[in-house]
Amino acid sequence: MRLFLMLWLLFAFPAYADFDSGLKAYNDGDYETAFKEWQTAADQGNIEAQRNLGHLYRWGKGVQQDLTQAAFWYYTAAKGGSDSAQYNLGVMYLRGEGIPRNEEEGVLWLERAAEQNNREAVERLAHLKTETDFELPAEEELFRPVKSAKKGALPGKMTTVSKKEPPLYAHLASYFDQETLEKGWKKLKAAYPELAKFKTLETRVSLQKGRYIRLYIKGKPEEIRKTCDSLNAKKQYCLISYP
């Protein structure tokens, strides 16, 4: 009976079986096997495995270090509700580690982790100003005096500042040359028609591996987030970040 139950659990919950196998391999120091097991579990939607892939890519254990991949898997797990992934993704945004530095996104993910009582996120937010040189707006900065009194208004009356919401960017892919980028963009639009409505931005980057071009889309924050969520659900890379 016990054997039957174990076999049933193994086939009914393969993602958890792969995760546990990966955990055992990691504790044994076999990081390559841990990576393979967690990759399988992550592809099946196991949030803990997705978070742990972020760790392995970030530290270069069992796989070549790749901070961009680390950010991708943290992002995937963070969307699934992992407070640890939310915290690590927030830190990577604040540091510009593997992804362009984006203090606003960093704070957003730290706050989400803190809402789940993640101790590290709570402490990082408490010391954010000294650790990242990123100052949250003071309360008085949300208001300003009226420069000229309008009819019926008192001189010096305080009024809220109207701020236009800035666009949000998402990294779709990287290419080695312009021709490949243009072909790649056409393929992406053909596969995912919802991308056609967005404007694109290209940035050229030089690294030790060579020079390449990053392709971004930009648009209203809610549309970019919705599109990225949809693409990631289809196993298509899309990472919210700033050029």
pLDDT tens for each residue of 48-62 = 999 999 999 988 889
- Range(s) of the chain covered by CATH 1.25.40.10: 13-131
**Residue of higher predicted confidence among 10 and 219:** 219
Q: Kindly indicate the confidence band of residue 116, based on its pLDDT and cuts at 50, 70 and 90.
A: confident
**In the prediction, which pLDDT does 68 show?**
87
Bridge partners of residue 212, in order along the sequence: 205
Would you say 178 and 213 are in contact if contact means Cβ atoms under 8 Å apart?
yes
Closest CA to 54 of 18, 89, 102, 91: 89
**In the prediction, which pLDDT does 158 show?**
30
Q: Kindly indicate the confidence band of residue 240, based on its pLDDT and cuts at 50, 70 and 90.
A: confident
**In the prediction, which pLDDT does 225 show?**
87
CATH T-level fold of 168-240: Alpha-Beta Plaits (3.30.70)
**In the prediction, which pLDDT does 18 show?**
74
Residue 103 has pLDDT above 80, yes or no: yes
CATH T-level fold of 13-131: 1.25.40
**In the prediction, which pLDDT does 150 show?**
34
- Range(s) of the chain covered by CATH 3.30.70: 168-240
Please write the tens of the pLDDT for every residue from 28-51: 889 899 999 999 999 888 999 999
d(CA 93, CA 103): 6
End-to-end CA distance of the chain: 57
Tokens coding 175? 């290419």
